[in-house]
Structure 1
Amino acid sequence: MKLSYPKKLSRYACVVLSTALLLAGCKGKDGDPGPAGPSGTGLSGNITGFVNSVDENGVQLSKTGVLVTLDGVTPAITATSDADGRFTLSNVRAGTYNIVYSRAGYGTFRRIGVGHVGGDQATFLGTSTMSQVSTQTITSLTNGSSNMITVYLNLTVASPVPTNTFRVAFFASASPNPTPATGILISTSTIGSGGTFATYYSTTVGINRFSLTNAGFASGTTVYLAAFGATSVFPSYLDPATGRAVYPTFSTTSSPGIAVQL
């Protein structure tokens, strides 16, 4: 009796071989290589989103003209927001990017580690808010009559344009003269001048001692404080090089530094 297994096996092998050759010849859209690994590094696509812009008091401003850039990419890939705040970064290869938002008079904002897969579906970033930099400064800062619960600080805030609302951010550190780059943000305060517009305003602000101990300063130690002009909206991000929060809209002019005993 003649067996037919070899013929059946041969036909099966041909089907398997043909399928393997077909799969090996497959490519991505328009002849581009398909995804290389889980991140799809062979694909390109658009990154799109919106920007919102406000002044230091949170008042809505024009959304046009914000420059959006992929950090460290050569050749540069940039886009400019339109009247609706929309922007599109075109033909961006799949990868992970830091995205920079900038505009004259505004704090430069960054979005760190944005993943982009590429392909037909654009990566949507949602809406990012930018604020003008604070123009206010704290011209004096002294210790007030503190108690076991609250540290009171006497201060004077200055603004180049008369206003009835002043904003202050307090930073603390274990070393003298903390800054946003070296200290820890302890609190922000909005100070109203009772409806009276002024370029200088003096007041007293309280900081709960728990906010200092909760930030890692031990009871019984000396903590150094400094104050900076703040904004109604203050977007922040973590600097990947230092792991510290960055507050790009706070004034860079420091108040006089003071020492507080916890």
Structure 2
Amino acid sequence: MKKRFILLFVLSLVLLTSCSSDDNTALIPSADIIGTVELYDDDQNIIDNTNMTISLEGSSPLITATTDLNGNYNLKNVPFGTYTIVYEKEGFGTYKRFDVEHTDVGEFTLIPEQLKLGQISNSIITENTVVINGNFIILTVTRPETEDLLVKRLRIFYHNSENVSNEIYTEFSPIVGTNSNLANLTFSIAFFINLGFEPGDTLWFKVYGDNFYSNSYMDPDLGVTVFPNVNPITADAVSIVIP
């Protein structure tokens, strides 16, 4: 009887050890992801870096962190893999960083560069007009007289239909900066021909205020460039027929 009890005890230890080994093997290795942001207003002034929410898209449960006074964040105990990091704060457009490799090569993964993020632009477009003058197209953009930004920045989207927007477009301009609330922007007709538009096409313009730190990015899932910091309050699109 005593020998039988000892045998059963030994078998129990073996089974427990085996289960413990299997459990350890099933554990997913993890480490922290750390980084820093710096936040800016329309006039390129550094503003409060706190309380930006950083998260890992698609993680379950959702892994998040919040920035401190210096803009530092620490996503804790992240399983190794490839992630999209999402940056969000009230008054800011949502920014995404894709294909972040988080691998077992150290105590943590450091996002090396300090990410500079701008607010959604405070610049409002109140009116647009467009005319043809010889071989040129002149787009006039109007803002409120009370707008007191040091530099008024805008971005233009071009398309062949009236539903043109910062999400639906054929082409877009770089950021254009002006010093006055009324801006006359001149384009050669050849410029639009080179973009793929043709004589007889109706060319539509949609103009938005944008931040110096536009933080535009290519979204591989959507297949388009995203413009998170354009001001959605803007004038209606205007059009002209290309001669």
Could you say whether these structures have the same fold, taking a TM-score greater than 0.5 normalized by the shorter chain as the test? yes
* Matches of 1:112 and 1:215, distance apart in 2: 29
Is the counterpart of residue 137 in structure 1 residue 124 in structure 2?
yes
Judged with a 3 Å threshold, the aligned counterparts in structure 2 of structure 1 residues 217 and 43 are, in CA distance, closer, same or farther, namely farther
Aligned length: 218
Report the Cα offset of residue 173 of structure 1. 0.9
Is the counterpart of residue 188 in structure 1 residue 175 in structure 2?
yes
Q: What is the match of residue 20 of structure 2?
A: none
SS of the residue corresponding to residue 192 of structure 2 reads helix
* Matches of 1:152 and 1:134, distance apart in 2: 24
Residues 37 and 116, structure 2, Cα contact 8 Å, conserved in 1: yes
Residues 131 and 240, structure 2, Cα contact 8 Å, conserved in 1: no
Judged with a 3 Å threshold, the aligned counterparts in structure 2 of structure 1 residues 154 and 103 are, in CA distance, closer, same or farther, namely same
Q: What is the match of residue 20 of structure 1?
A: none
Report the Cα offset of residue 84 of structure 1. 2.0
| Deviation digits for residues 168-221 of structure 1 (CA, Å, limit 9, x no counterpart) | 11101111141010013124321103xxxxxxx223112344553444333553
Residues 236 and 245, structure 1, Cα contact 8 Å, conserved in 2: yes
Residues 32 and 43, structure 1, Cα contact 8 Å, conserved in 2: no
Give unmatched runs, 5+ long, in structure 1: 1-30, 35-40, 194-200
Residues 123 and 147, structure 2, Cα contact 8 Å, conserved in 1: no
Residues 94 and 118, structure 1, Cα contact 8 Å, conserved in 2: yes
Q: How does 1:64-83 map to 2 (within 5 A)?
A: 64-83=50-69
State the superposition RMSD in angstroms. Answer: 2.4
Judged with a 3 Å threshold, the aligned counterparts in structure 2 of structure 1 residues 117 and 258 are, in CA distance, closer, same or farther, namely same
* Bigger radius of gyration: 1
Report the Cα offset of residue 72 of structure 1. 1.8
Stretch deviating more after TM superposition (101-110 or 150-159): 150-159
Residues 98 and 114, structure 1, Cα contact 8 Å, conserved in 2: yes
Judged with a 3 Å threshold, the aligned counterparts in structure 2 of structure 1 residues 92 and 160 are, in CA distance, closer, same or farther, namely farther
| Deviation digits for residues 208-252 of structure 1 (CA, Å, limit 9, x no counterpart) | 445534443335532211111111110012223321111110011
TM-score, reference length from structure 1? 0.74
Q: What is the match of residue 147 of structure 1?
A: 134
Judged with a 3 Å threshold, the aligned counterparts in structure 2 of structure 1 residues 103 and 217 are, in CA distance, closer, same or farther, namely same
> What amino acid sits opposite 2:109 in the alignment?
T
Corresponding residue to 1:221 among 201, 221, 224? 201
